Amino acid sequence: MFKNIENDTPHRSQPLLQTGVAGLDAVLGGGLPAGHLYLIQGLAGRGKTTLACQIGFNHAHQGKKVVVMTLLGESHAKMINHFSNFSFFDEGLVGKEIIFFSAYASLVKGGLGELLQLIVATLSEERPHILIIDGFRSIRNSSATDLALAEFMHSLNSLVSSMACTTFLLSPVEGNITDIENTLVDGVIELGQFSQGLNVIRELQVFKIRGAKQLLGKHVFDMGSEGVRVYPRFEAMATHAQAPPAATGRLSVGIPSWDERIGGGVVAGSITCLLGSPGVGKTMMGLHFIGAGLANNESCLIVGFHESPETLVHKARKISIELQPHVDSGKLQMMWQLPLEILVDDLATRILDCIRTHKVKRLFIDGMEGLDNLIMHPERSRAFFVALSNELRRQGVTVYVTEQLHYFKKGAPAAEASSSMLYENIMLLEYFAVGDINHRRISVMKLRENEYDGANRIMTISGEGMAVGGLTSQANFNEPEPDANVG
C-alpha cells in the first residue's frame, strides 16, 4: 500500500526481531531491536499475554526457543487452554520450543534476588531466543524500595543484553508514566481501549522504542481467531507515501448529455463528489459511471454502506444497466458493509487490496457518511480522508463518491469546508419545486482541468437512464413530468 517504512530507517548494526503479528512490525518500523528489554503494559483484559505469547509462538514455529515465566496465580494448563483458541497455537511446541516456568514461589521465598537467580539459571540452561515474564506487578509489589527495583531492572537489562535474549515484561498499568520500569526498559508498548457511547475499540500505542523509528500515536487492533491483528493508523502510513502521478485523459461518466456539458467527462484519476439531497439520484449517477467503465472493459468496484449489492443490481437494471453479468465474470467487485462496529482502517485496507488485486480502474463509494461514521475519533476524519484520497490517486483509480448535502448557507447549498481539498470535482444534485411538483436539477460546483457549463440544468430519470437537458430558467414546466418512478 505504502512505501516500506523500514527503508526510511537509518542503517543499524542491531538486528531487528520481527514479531510476526500482522500490522505490528509496520508500526514498529520493521520490528524490535533484538536482545533488548521491553514492557508491554495495559489494564487487565487488554491482550498483553496474548500478544506476547503470539510473538513467542511465531518464533517457536521457526524452531527458536521461547521461555514463558509466570508470576501469577493462573495455572499453565489454564493459560495453554486459552491459547488453544488461536491459530498461532501449536500444542506440539509446548515443552519443546516453548517452555513454561512458574517463578512465583521463588519471588515469594527470596524476593527479587532469588527471582533474578532463577532467571539467570533459566537463561543459562535453556538459551532462549525470547523470554516472557508475565506478572510484573508481583515484582513491583515485592520490592521494598525503588532503589531495589532499579537494581533489579538494571541487572535484568544487562543479563538479557549479554544473553541476546529479547525479553518482554507484562505489566497491568496504563499511561506513559515515570516509574522505574518505564524508564529503564528499551521500549514501552501499551494496549488500551477507547469508548464512544456504547462502542469500544482496542488501541495500541508505542511510547518508545530505542534504536527504532516507530509510527507515533495510537493504532487500532482487534483479536480474532489468528490472535492480535494491528491496523496501523492509515494517515500515519500515508505520511511515507509517494505523490500521485499527474492525471491525464478524460473518462465518460456514462451520461452522454452530461459529458457534453463537462468537456467530455472527468479527468482520469480524479475524485468526483456527487453532492445532493436524499433520493435526488446520486446513486443512479454513480451506477452510470460504473456502467460506462464496464462497457469499456474496465475493472470496477462499488463500496456501499446502506443498499445491498442485490438492491444495487436491481436498481441499475431499472435504468437499463446490467451489472450481474459483470459481477459473475469478476469484472465488477461489490463490497457492502453496514456502517456499524467495524474498524475504518481495516475497511480502507480491504478496499485498497481489492483495487490492487483486481486492477480496478473505477471506484464508486456510495455514501461517504458511512465511511465517516466508522471513524471513532472525529478529529482524525480530515487526515484520514486526505490519506485515502491520495492513495486512490496513487493507484490511478477514478473515483465517484456520494455525499449528503449537509447544510445551507444563506439559503444556498454548500459543501463541507474540506471538500475542496478532497475532491477535484463537485457536482450538485438537488430538488426544486415548481408549483406542486418537485423537479431535479444538476450543476457544477467545481471541476478541475475542464471547461464546463456552469448553468443549472434539468435532470431527468427514466427507464432508459439519466439525462441532462435544458436550463432550468428556460424549461417549460407545463409539460408532463418526464421522470419515471425508478427509485
Q: Which CATH architecture has domain 250-474?
A: 3-Layer(aba) Sandwich (3.40)
**Which of these, 375, 369, 335, lies nearest to 351 by C-alpha position?**
335
pLDDT averaged over 10-residue windows placed end to end, the chain, 487 residues: 44 79 95 95 93 97 96 83 94 95 90 94 96 91 85 94 95 80 90 90 94 89 95 85 76 95 92 93 97 97 94 95 97 90 89 96 94 88 91 94 72 55 91 85 86 86 92 70 51
Assign domain 5-232 to a CATH class: alpha beta
pLDDT of residue 11: 46
| In the chain, where the domains are located | 5-232, 250-474
pLDDT of residue 420: 65
CB of 305 within 8 A of CB of 367?
A: yes
CB of 209 within 8 A of CB of 30?
A: no
For the stretch 426-464, pLDDT in tens is 999 999 888 788 889 999 998 887 777 778 999 999 999
CA angle 37, 38, 44 (to 5 degrees): 140
pLDDT of residue 94: 95
Domains 5-232 and 250-474 in one fold: yes
pLDDT of residue 345: 92
Which residues share a beta bridge with 96? none
pLDDT of residue 8: 47
Decide: residue 151, CB within 10 A, 0-12 exposed, 13-18 middle, 19+ buried.
middle
pLDDT of residue 486: 54
Please state, in angstroms and rounded to a whole number, the distance separating the CA atoms of residues 284 and 288. 6
For the stretch 30-71, pLDDT in tens is 999 999 999 999 998 999 999 999 999 999 999 999 999 999
**Got the DSSP string for 335-346?**
EE--SSS--HHH
pTM score: 0.82
